[in-house]
């Protein structure tokens, strides 16, 4: 087989959803399966990288050779990622981090009261990706953008706003994106783009990891 192109590089990957607790038995989550992020971790490890995977609650086996840190909420994910980021060369943020969490976690199970509804107050979670991108000694930072429309324009705006080195954008909806084995990605970086056609997530992950290695090299050389 070809030489392992990522030997000596340290990859940090986040994957999966976050769960934001409402009370001891309920939470707010999302439909991320974690498959894309786990595939990125696996692809990087197979190319010889040292890989740390920060995983939200998912039902997936840890890829061979990958060090895994399990977290539940966005704030736990933030703490784990920020603690790890400074000693990594690349951060791939594939997690579907919940944007909001309940402003307080009820200590006991919330009870129904008559026919009344329930209003939940939510506060915003920290943007982990933007925080890593703002670190003084930052790794090469790769974000994901799941969009239902205007994929390229929204993703490029996100690349610029969060000051990313690369973004992998995909269309999500009923027939693509979450909870599937395949996906298609549009890669954007500050002065370029490349479309990765619909393929198995593991195949896409291999292509993505190869592009990251190229772009990171080009950036270092610049």
Residue 100 among known ligand-binding residues: no
93 binds ligand C5P (CB under 6 A): yes
Q: CB under 6 A: which stretch of 38-46, 92-100, 193-201, 209-217 binds ligand C5P?
A: 92-100
Determine the size of the site formed for ligand C5P (CB under 6 A).
13
Query: Residue 59 phi/psi, 5° resolution?
Result: -105, 65
What's the Cα-to-Cα distance from 96 to each of 36, 177, 196, rounded to whole Å? 11, 12, 20
With a CB cutoff of 8 Å and minimum separation 6, the contacts of 41 are 11, 13, 15, 51, 53, 63, 66
Among 128, 151, 159, 172, binds ligand C5P (CB under 6 A): 128
Determine the longest span between alpha carbons in the chain, in angstroms: 67
Name 171's bridge partners.
Answer: 147
208 binds ligand C5P (CB under 6 A): no
Residue 112 among known ligand-binding residues: no
40 binds ligand C5P (CB under 6 A): no
Is 30 in the active site? yes
129 binds ligand C5P (CB under 6 A): yes
With a CB cutoff of 8 Å and minimum separation 6, the contacts of 136 are none
Point out which residues bind ligand C5P (CB under 6 A): 74, 93, 95, 97, 99, 125, 127-129, 143-145, 158
């Amino acid at each position: 087989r070809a030489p392992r192109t990522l030997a000596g590089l340290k990859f940090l990957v986040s994957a999966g959803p976050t769960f934001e607790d409402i009370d001891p038995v309920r939470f707010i989550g999302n439909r991320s399966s974690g498959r894309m992020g786990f595939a990125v971790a696996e692809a990087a490890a197979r190319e010889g990288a040292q890989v740390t995977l920060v995983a939200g609650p998912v039902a997936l086996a840890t890829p061979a050779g990958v060090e895994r840190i399990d977290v539940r909420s966005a704030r736990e994910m933030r703490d784990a990622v920020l603690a790890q980021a400074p000693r990594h060369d690349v951060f791939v943020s594939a997690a579907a981090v919940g944007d909001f969490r309940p402003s307080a976690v009820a200590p006991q199970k919330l009870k129904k009261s008559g026919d009344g509804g329930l209003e939940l107050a939510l506060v915003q979670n920290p943007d982990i990706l933007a925080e890593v991108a703002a670190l003084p000694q930052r790794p090469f930072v790769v974000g994901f953008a799941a969009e239902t429309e205007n994929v390229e324009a929204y993703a490029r705006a996100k690349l610029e706003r969060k000051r990313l080195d690369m973004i992998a954008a995909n269309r999500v909806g009923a027939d693509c994106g979450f909870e599937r084995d395949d996906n298609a990605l549009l890669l954007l970086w500050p002065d370029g783009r490349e479309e990765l056609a619909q393929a198995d997530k593991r195949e896409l992950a291999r292509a993505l990891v190869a592009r990251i290695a190229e772009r990171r090299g080009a950036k270092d050389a610049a």
